[in-house]
Amino acid sequence: MKAYKNDKILAPVCLDKTWGFINENGDFEIPLQFDYAHGFSEGRAKVVIGEKCGFIHETGEFVIPPIYDKRKSHNFYEDGFVKMVLGKNSYMIATDGTKLDVDEYDEIDVFSEGMAAFKVNGRWGYINTFGEQVVKPIYTKTYAFLEGMAEVELEGKWGYIDKTGKEIISLIYDDASEFSEGLARVELNNKYGFINKEGEDIIPFKYKNANIFSEGLAAVAENEAWGFVNKKGEQITPYKYNKELFWDINNSPQIFSDGLAAVQFERKYGFIDRNGNEVIPFKYYWTHGFRDNLAYVIDAYGGFINKAGDVVVPLKYEAAKRFSYELAAVKLDGTWGYVNTKGENTIPMRFHHAGIFRNCNAPIERIKE
């Protein structure tokens, strides 16, 4: 996990229906005072008071006053901006306080790689961080820029553009995903395959479904069963795993993480390595997958295992969040506290709810808690 020198590590917690933020010792850095609180990203955290919301600094001081609509405003800063809604007016507000007036648009998405998709009169385009229209609103659907490219749809066909709006890969596909590790999953004539950034076919169109690449492997479906292939299209595992897995774990299609992937077989979860070896048996009802070398798993109750499959945090908890900065929020007998990687209850079980620890100035991580 990347270190940010002198930055605070804080987690939002709730006690008696009021939220504040604690540090890694369990001490309150920002007192209980909010009706709800989200985690920090890019030096700011969204907090709610009544029906309004604003953003605070790590000192607890408001940098965006709590006057905005709590439901319509976004929850996190991303790529230096957050969307805030006040009455009929919408703004993209930068971390330095600069406001972009985006009222002219019907919808606007988050910034990613310096670009944000906007919708006007039923069509989508993109603006840059100066609010300038870089890509005219001509597309029926768009997604965020990743690896310098974005997938766009026009009248049912998908392709890819660069940040100037140039169509780098022609709009000929029935479906398309973002580029990951240099390859993108695309569908043509009801079959999925993979292309590179030049639009060349790298893995043939022969799969019923497919997911993005992670750590050099991608999950693909043949009939109703899933397996994994490498970037040459070589089959690494048999097609035998259940499809439900691949759309539930980690809030996204299944990926490898820390060298292992959770897979489901005969309604139980286990783990395979990048060579396709089944290294942790199929015996769990659920898992969030590995993160920082530990995975939350559920049998009758939940706990954490290491990459050898050993239980390091006892399977006795009603719920848990992923480990972050060597601490994980866990729920026992209706209350929340935190355990360390040895399973020791280092922050007592006294909260009504508890979030993950985040570095206040780090970017938001889009991963299931």
pLDDT at 248: 45
Quote the CA–CA distance of 198 and 201 in Å, as a whole number. 9
Q: Strands 89-94, 81-86: parallel, antiparallel or unpaired by DSSP?
A: antiparallel
Quote the CA–CA distance of 240 and 96 in Å, as a whole number. 51
Mean pLDDT, range 46-59, rounded to an integer: 97
Question: 154-191, pLDDT tens digit by residue?
Answer: 999 999 999 999 999 999 999 999 999 999 999 999 99
To which residue do tokens 């490498």 refer?
Answer: 230
Question: 64-81, pLDDT tens digit by residue?
Answer: 999 999 999 999 999 999
Quote the CA–CA distance of 80 and 100 in Å, as a whole number. 12
User: What confidence tier does 143 reach under pLDDT thresholds 50, 70, 90?
Assistant: very high
Q: In this structure, what are the phi and psi dihedrals at residue 128, rounded to the nearest 5 degrees?
A: -100, -175
Mean pLDDT, range 98-112, rounded to an integer: 92
Angle at 158 between CA 106 and CA 75, to 5 degrees: 40
User: How far are the Cα atoms of 208, 210, 213, 357, 362 from residue 9, in angstroms, in the given order?
Assistant: 44, 37, 31, 6, 10
Nearest to 57 by CA among 363, 358, 360: 360
Kind plus residue range of the DSSP H or E element containing 99: strand 99-101
Q: Evaluate whether 61 touches 45 at the Cβ level (below 8 Å).
A: no
157-161 — which CB contacts under 8 Å span 24+ positions? Answer: 158/186, 160/184, 160/197, 160/199, 161/135
Q: In this structure, what are the phi and psi dihedrals at residue 110, rounded to the nearest 5 degrees?
A: -75, 160
HEC letters along 28-63: EEEEEEECEEEEEECCEEEEEECCEEEEECCCCCEE
User: What confidence tier does 138 reach under pLDDT thresholds 50, 70, 90?
Assistant: very high
To which residue do tokens 């077989």 refer?
Answer: 265
- Percentage helix, strand, coil, to 5, in the chain? 0, 60, 40
* Buried b or exposed e, range 67-95, using 16+ CB within 10 angstroms: ebebeebbebbbbbbbbbbeeeebbbbbb
Whether the pLDDT of residue 369 is over 60: the answer is: no
Quote the CA–CA distance of 68 and 108 in Å, as a whole number. 16
Tokens of 158: 């998908």
Q: In this structure, what are the phi and psi dihedrals at residue 213, rounded to the nearest 5 degrees?
A: -80, 145
- In this structure, how many other beta carbons lie within 10 angstroms of the beta carbon of residue 104? 11
Chain Cα centroid distance, residue 193: 24
Q: Poorest-confidence range of 112-116, 258-262, 348-352? A: 258-262
Q: Which residue has the higher pLDDT, 48 or 362?
A: 48
DSSP string of 212-267, one letter each residue? --BTTEEEEEETTEEEEEETT--B-S-S-B-GGGGGTGGGSS---BTTEEEEEETT
User: What confidence tier does 122 reach under pLDDT thresholds 50, 70, 90?
Assistant: very high
Residue 141 Rama label (left phi>0; alpha psi -120 to 50; beta): beta
pLDDT at 366: 54
Question: 314-359, pLDDT tens digit by residue?
Answer: 999 999 999 999 999 999 999 999 999 999 999 999 999 999 999 9
pLDDT at 254: 57
DSSP state of 330: E
Q: In this structure, what are the phi and psi dihedrals at residue 325, rounded to the nearest 5 degrees?
A: 55, 40
Question: Which of 24-38, 84-98, 240-254 is the most confident on average?
Answer: 24-38
